[in-house]
Amino acid sequence: MWQFSGMSVLESILKDLEMLPAPKLVEVAHYVSRLNPHRREERLAAIKATAGCLGGEEGMAFETAVREEGERLDLDDWK
């Protein structure tokens, strides 16, 4: 196992995490989750399983809402 200042890398990371406020821990959790290749596969499988699930009137209503709201977006608003 790797060593960092006399501690394992995991011990060093845990020590750093103990000092973070809760919102930062949430950020770390999201980042670590994205690093896990199995989570990526799970997300892709979920997307594939639900893609195109809105059909008929429900799908048309969603498409109409997206088009109408998209026209009201200010593309320079983020700047």
- Sequential DSSP letters for 32-75: HHHH-HHHHHHHHHHHHHHTT---HHHHHHHHHHHHHHHHT--T
The token pair at 71 is: 């026209």
pTM, 2 dp: 0.43
**Among 57, 55, 35, 38, which residue's Cα sits nearest to residue 46?**
38
Write down the pLDDT at residue 42: 85
Domain ranges of the chain: 21-71
Mean model confidence pLDDT for the chain:
83
pLDDT average, residue stretch 19-39? 89
Write down the pLDDT at residue 4: 64
